[in-house]
A and B are shown apart, each in its own frame.
Chain A
Amino acid sequence: MKLPSIRILFLDGLALLLMYLLFFAPDWPRDTILGVLGNAIMLVSVWASLYVWMKVRKVANDTRSLGEQLTAISLFFTVAIGGFFFWKLHLLGWQTSLDDFHTRAVGRNVVIMLIGFQIVRHIITRQHAALLGSGGEAMEDERDRQIGARADAHSHMLLVILIIVLIVQLAVGGDAIVRQATPLNVAHWLIGILILSSIAEYGSAMWQYHRANAE
């Protein structure tokens, strides 16, 4: 059995460290993950995940369509972004402003993950196109589009339900809700709803791909 290279082990360790710092690390040293060091680790981690994918892309391309690979990556990033956002939501507080350090830091990390997500998607798509060459095999076809359309419908349904729940809460929730409903908090709630609907979309697509692949 071929042992994984030192580089892969190093990158795996780095990814685990990032996951720990993002989700489980105590607040000491204060704001490590929210500061420059956290941003640097996050960027390196995005690069590392891309590097690992490059190493296994031949196997991935043999067994999974591009649509399925992108869906898996999208689900991974969306769950990571959602997990980070909801995990650190308490740092945002209820009556905070955009000048607050934590608000800006959490927002910055979410944006970095979003940008990393788009870069990884773009590079994988370009690499896939180069691998297929001009042979004529499609990168995406009607099956991917059908799955995408159904997943989109599921996401839309959840989005509408959550928005209605929010509207009802704001309308009949009483003073307790109204006091918390500052413009910034409503923005946070809406961001959370968007993240949840994105998770629903990619989760639904992954589930459909899984069903289509099951023997």
Chain B
Amino acid sequence: MTIAIRNHIRRLRFESGDITQEALARQCGVTRQTIISLEAGKYTPSLELAFKLARAFGVGVDQVFEWNDVSETGVTSGGR
């Protein structure tokens, strides 16, 4: 079974007035490289960081992250 968590951090940064990766990192108390890894889909954050990111954008966690449970049958469930 493949579990994929996608995020919309890059889009939300631009929609929230071109917040830089550095500014977002400062707001969430992480390094800029972690924001880069998140946007590239290379890192799945902890629940705490997920909430911090959502708060930084002023939206809910489910608007920042999207969960796709792709089973072997190819059926996709979950999501926003």
Contact = CB atoms under 8 A, between A and B. Distances in A.
Interface in A133-177: 135-144
Nearest to A214: B42
B26 A143 contact: no
Interface stretch (B5-13, B31-39, B63-71): B31-39
B60 interface: no
Interface of B is mostly: helix
A65 B43 contact: no
Interface in A182-215: 211-215
A113 interface: no
A143 B31 contact: yes
Contact of A137 (B31, B37, B40, B43): B31
A66 interface: yes
A150 B32 CA distance: 21
Interface in B5-63: 22, 25-27, 29-34, 37, 40, 42-43, 45-46, 48-49
B40 to A, nearest CB: 7
Interface of B: 22, 25-27, 29-34, 37, 40, 42-43, 45-46, 48-49
Greatest chain A CB density within 10 A among B22, B27, B30, B49 is at: B30
A58 interface: no
A135 to B, nearest CB: 6
A141 B31 contact: yes
6 contacts: A137-B32, A142-B45, A143-B34, A143-B37, A144-B31, A213-B42
A209 B48 CA distance: 22
Contacts of B40: 215
Interface in A108-147: 135-144
Contact of B42 (A137, A140, A212): A212
A64 B26 contact: no
Nearest to B27: A136
A136 B27 CA distance: 7
Given A143-B34, A143-B37, A213-B37, A138 B29 contact: yes
